[in-house]
Amino acid sequence: MDTQVKTPWAPGVQPLIESEKLQQRIAELAAQITRDYAGKDLVLVGVLKGCFLFMADLCRKIELPLRCDFLGVSSYGDETRSSGVIRITSDVSRPVLGAEVLLVEDIVDTGLTISYLLENLRARRPRTVKVCTLLDKPARRRVQVPIDYRGFTVPDRFVVGYGLDYQGLYRNLPYIGQIEG
């Protein structure tokens, strides 16, 4: 994909990370996770809604038996910046007691959501909890959090596509783009 070509139905979005590059990096992350969790009871816990495309591609490339579960979390509403108020909208469906939990996130921005979720999940007594994020935006960090698996570091711009949205739109873009303006 030519990263200079815009999607006709998303004229205000400038491509930032092309689809092929996303898939290549996800395969690399999955290979590392496969090595690191060989022989362990792995549970991927995706942070909805933004992680759904990333987690689907990631889990298909991990060559291990694993369980998938999800947490629904909101901190943006319809804004382009996090409100800082984290709200759980849905919880995991099964206990994670004694499991190796890999928290799968679309983007780590301020760090507030991941920090909150790590604390919340650790209280459930898994064996370990680690973080895998497709995108890391360190320029906005307010709380330092451990990131064990990182896809890409992105600049301080509002990004959409490949699961990430703006007011519910653009999740279905096959690439990561930035809102112009």
Q: How far is CA 173 from CA 45, 70, 108, 159, in A?
A: 23, 22, 19, 11
pLDDT tens per residue, range 33-85: 999 999 999 999 999 999 999 999 999 999 999 999 999 987 655 555 555 67
Please report the beta strands in 80-127, taking only residues with DSSP state E, as ranges in sequence order: 87-90, 100-108
pLDDT tens per residue, range 145-180: 999 999 999 999 999 999 999 989 999 999 999 988
Q: 57, 106, 109, 136: which one is catalytic?
A: 109
* Total residues found in the chain within this entry: 181
Greatest alpha-carbon span in the chain:
48
Other C-beta atoms closer than 10 Å to the C-beta of 132 total 24
Domains annotated for the chain, with CATH where assigned, are 19-157 (3.40.50.2020)
Query: Token pair of 84, please?
Result: 């800082």
Q: 109 an active-site residue?
A: yes
